[in-house]
């Protein structure tokens, strides 16, 4: 599990449309670095160390699983996207955006290109004033004083003016949703995505216990004989797991992410069972379905069949290696029929055929943004 830590950033700009610059940087930080928990008011100050337009300054509190080095890399990338070129600048000058890491938990960091706490922060009221607004009682790890006391002791006599400008704090998954169910065909990456979200947002994970099902290897060897006991055992296990786990929120977990929803049982049963057995199965399913909590958003990951087979081969489960493309196509059609028939579910379909959200952070952020931006009918 990734460790989520609290950091404080300072942002400043004195070129172009300053509020737009700050908002763009806020959105990029939220998308690529972590969840923004607090944003200070916007403060105006005179240019520091040179003649130029007034600066707009803010401070942010963020929770992030990034290391200090990766956080710095993200900061530089965001500055570059906004048009700042640090290597071309010497000393103090006009800046379309300036992002500094002020504090990283209570750590003291001395790298060649990163020093935390920021060595100049205690000398600058345009940093300490907005920081005090959102974190007055945070202890500076070197000065051993609260940020408020550090501001009171600051010798900077510059005028810091609070503006009426408003910035929008992006909401996070944990604020928007209590329960996310991630579904998809065999090999679509649903468990990998659930695990990544679980790590990043301290979610309670509900993962399918397929490895414990003794009928699964037997089914792939002899579908006709073992289809019914397999589907019944999966249904019973999924029902018990979901009713137990969804009824109990962990004290230290913000929300729940599962890599399946109970309707998966019905979809696979439609494909694997003959008509008479499916009819009996459906009666049992309907009784259980009434008792299951519904997800706030049902995410379906679409993956093309070639990629599904490639992913199945890569993960190397012996009993899956003979799965055929036509079987995967039947499962996919079953999911589509289910999605069309269940309008009461808030369903989001995401095409991940060209995305590698496991190994590519930007692809992962694309998926997260689609989930976050989703609006139910």
Model confidence over 119-132: pLDDT tens digits? 999 999 999 999 99
Q: Which residue has the tokens 């010497």?
A: 90
Residue 150, CB-side half-sphere exposure with 13 Å CA sphere: 28
Q: Provide the pLDDT for residue 344.
A: 81
Q: Is the pLDDT score of 208 beyond 60?
A: yes
Phi and psi at 47, nearest 5°, equal -60, 145
Q: Do 58 and 131 touch, CB atoms closer than 8 A?
A: no
Residues paired with 60 in a beta bridge? 9, 39
Q: Which residue has the higher pLDDT, 339 or 147?
A: 147
CA distance 63 to 174: 12
Banded model confidence at residue 184, pLDDT cuts 50, 70, 90: very high
DSSP 3-state helix, strand, coil percentages of the chain (rounded to 5)?
45, 20, 35
Catalogue all structural domains in the chain, each as residue range(s) with its CATH number.
5-162 (3.30.70.560), 173-373 (3.40.50.300)
Q: Is the pLDDT score of 151 beyond 80?
A: yes
Mean pLDDT value of segment 263-287:
90
Q: Is 182 exposed, middle or buried, given 0-12, 13-18 or 19+ CB atoms closer than 10 A?
A: buried
* pLDDT tens digits along 94-143: 889 999 999 999 999 998 889 999 999 999 999 999 999 999 999 999 99
* pLDDT tens digits along 364-377: 989 998 999 998 76
| pTM listed for this prediction | 0.75
Q: Which residue has the higher pLDDT, 317 or 239?
A: 239
Measured at the CA of 19, the angle between CA 15 and CA 21, to 5 degrees, comes to: 60
Q: Provide the pLDDT for residue 48.
A: 73
Find out whether the peptide bond into 117 is cis, omega within 30 degrees of 0.
Answer: yes
Q: Do 147 and 138 touch, CB atoms closer than 8 A?
A: yes
Q: Provide the pLDDT for residue 211.
A: 61
Report the percentage of the chain scoring pLDDT > 70. Answer: 94
Residues paired with 6 in a beta bridge? 63
Banded model confidence at residue 36, pLDDT cuts 50, 70, 90: very high
Q: Do 183 and 234 touch, CB atoms closer than 8 A?
A: no
Q: Do 12 and 94 touch, CB atoms closer than 8 A?
A: no
Q: Do 63 and 108 touch, CB atoms closer than 8 A?
A: no
Burial per residue of 13-33, b for 16 or more beta-carbon CB atoms within 10 angstroms, e otherwise: bbbeebeebbbbbbbbbbbbb
Q: Which residue has the higher pLDDT, 63 or 315?
A: 63
Banded model confidence at residue 87, pLDDT cuts 50, 70, 90: low
Q: Provide the pLDDT for residue 113.
A: 86
> CA separation (Å) from 222 to 219, 236, 282?
5, 21, 22
């Amino acid at each position: 599990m990734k460790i989520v830590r609290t950091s404080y950033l300072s942002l400043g700009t004195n070129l172009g449309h300053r509020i737009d610059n700050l908002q763009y940087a806020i959105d990029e930080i939220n998308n690529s670095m972590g969840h923004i928990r607090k944003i200070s008011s916007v403060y105006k100050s005179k240019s520091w160390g040179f003649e130029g337009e007034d600066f707009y300054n803010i401070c942010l509190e963020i929770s992030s699983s990034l290391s200090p080095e990766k956080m710095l890399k993200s900061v530089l990338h965001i500055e570059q996207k906004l048009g700042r070129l640090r290597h071309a600048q010497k000393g103090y000058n006009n800046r379309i955006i300036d992002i500094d890491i002020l504090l990283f938990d209570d750590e003291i960091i001395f790298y060649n290109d990163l020093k935390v706490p920021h060595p100049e922060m205690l000398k600058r009221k345009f940093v300490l004033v907005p920081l005090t607004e959102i974190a007055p009682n945070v202890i500076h790890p070197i000065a051993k004083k609260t940020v408020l006391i550090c501001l009171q002791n600051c010798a900077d006599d510059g005028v810091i003016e609070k503006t009426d400008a408003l910035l929008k704090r992006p909401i996070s998954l944990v604020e928007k949703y209590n329960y996310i169910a991630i579904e998809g065909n065999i090999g679509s990456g649903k468990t990998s995505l659930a695990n990544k979200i679980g790590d990043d947002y301290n979610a309670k994970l509900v993962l399918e216990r397929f490895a414990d099902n003794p009928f699964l290897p037997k089914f792939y060897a002899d579908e006709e004989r073992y289809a019914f006991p397999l589907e019944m055992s999966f249904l019973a296990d999924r029902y018990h797991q979901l009713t137990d786990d969804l009824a109990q929120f962990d004290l230290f977990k913000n929300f729940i992410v599962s890599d399946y929803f109970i309707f998966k049982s019905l979809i696979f049963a439609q494909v694997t069972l003959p008509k008479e057995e499916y009819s009996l199965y459906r009666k049992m399913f309907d009784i259980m379905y009434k008792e299951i909590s519904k997800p706030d958003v049902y995410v379906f990951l679409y993956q093309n069949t070639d990629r599904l087979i490639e992913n199945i081969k890569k993960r190397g489960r012996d009993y899956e290696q003979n799965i055929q493309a036509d079987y995967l196509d039947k499962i996919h059609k079953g999911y589509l029929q289910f999605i069309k028939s269940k309008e009461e579910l808030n369903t989001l379909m995401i095409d991940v055929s060209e995305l590698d959200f496991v190994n590519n952070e930007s692809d992962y952020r694309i998926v997260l943004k689609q989930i976050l931006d989703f609006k139910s009918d």
